[in-house]
Amino acid sequence: MIRLGNLILDHGLILAPLAGYTDYAMRYLCRREGAELTVSEMVSSRALCYGDKKTPSLACIRPEEAPCAVQIFGSEPHFMAEAAKIVACGMAGGVAPAAIDINMGCPVKKIVSAGDGCALMKDPSLVFDIVKAVVGATSLPVTVKIRAGWDEAHKNAVEVAKAAEAAGASLVAVHGRTRTQMYSGKADYAVIAAVKDALSVPVVGNGDVCSAADALHLKRETGCDGVMIGRGAVGNPFLFAEIRAALAGEDYVPPSPRERMETALLQVRLAIEVQGEECAVLASRKQFADYAGGLRGAAALRAAAHRATCYEELSLAAEAFLSALAE
């Protein structure tokens, strides 16, 4: 169990923030399937402070998807503090977030080259200053997401996590890969275990969780308080229901191919509500076919999805896939 302000997470199942993926549609479906907390795509603190018109929609939380945390990124404490104040009451007509999450784990070149994301782990004193500034700017719980370190020679997750805790962080999530690993290789669960041993606040493990067995293995190996799932939930929000069943010792019945496709199409419709059809379809194509992962004909569905320009074409592609699967 994790207590985060007034929020209690019985199983500690959290959807990780994924730029370009964890929009309203994906967050809603993961919540429906059992995620106890979701996290928005990362939001630039500078963009928020300078009044960028497109940024508020990234931080908008609809009532039906709550609780959701908003993740902000940046390397300047005053901008990060101001950004926390801006999002704390809700953005673009949405409800207030359950927490403010600070991104210290993004490995993408354009982020770290600006000194943001995982680059912050090179300077634990700056980590402390940023977290302290954000904690002082809001009454919401402040969480921090980090990696194992910058590279194999600099795995300083424990030092960074202790700095974040000392500055007032309520929870630390640790991805077991270094920045130089990006998403290759395996997550180092020993690092997550070391962070758990060093902190008194809840620690959430992240990395290589694509099944209930993976989640149980992560908890067993690290003693972590919760599990954060990112890429494993892309095209598979059902993973949360699978893990919850495993944690409860209950049988799990996976979704049928038709249920998968119905959920895939629902995700597109939810995205259309927010973005409009053209933008939503283009953005959804990259994960639409992931719903058919492991099934015969998935490659053909992916090809058809990547050609689609409207919702009707995605719907027809799904029906063609299901018909071929039934033959």
Q: What is the CATH number of the domain that holds 11?
A: 3.20.20.70
165 and 209 in a single domain? The answer is yes
73 and 170 in a single domain? The answer is yes
Residues 6 or more apart from 17 whose CB is under 8 A from it? 39, 40, 41, 42, 71, 101, 103, 145, 230
287 and 203 in a single domain? The answer is no
123 and 37 in a single domain? The answer is yes
191 and 88 in a single domain? The answer is yes
CA dihedral 268, 270, 275, 276 (to 10 degrees): 70
**326 confidence band (pLDDT: 50, 70, 90):** confident
Residue 41 has pLDDT above 80, yes or no: yes
Mean pLDDT of the residues in the chain: 96
Q: What is the CATH number of the domain that holds 321?
A: 1.10.1200
Q: Give the percent of the chain with pLDDT over 70.
A: 100
Contact criterion met (CB below 8 Å) for 125 and 131: no
Could you tell me the pTM of the whole model? Answer: 0.96
283 and 313 in a single domain? The answer is yes
Domain end point (choices 248, 267, 285): 248
Question: What are 100-128's pLDDT values in tens digits?
Answer: 999 999 999 999 999 999 999 999 999 99
Structure-token pair, residue 154 = 């600099």
Structural domain total, the chain: 2
Domain end point (choices 217, 248, 279): 248
Structure-token pair, residue 308 = 């689609």
154 and 46 in a single domain? The answer is yes
Domain end point (choices 198, 226, 248): 248
Residue 270 has pLDDT above 90, yes or no: yes
Contact criterion met (CB below 8 Å) for 232 and 21: no
- Closest of 191, 228, 226, 193 to residue 207, by C-alpha: 228
Range of the domain at 109: 2-248
Question: What are 144-195's pLDDT values in tens digits?
Answer: 999 999 999 999 999 999 999 999 999 999 999 999 999 999 999 999 999 9
Residue 327 has pLDDT above 80, yes or no: no
Active site residues: 106
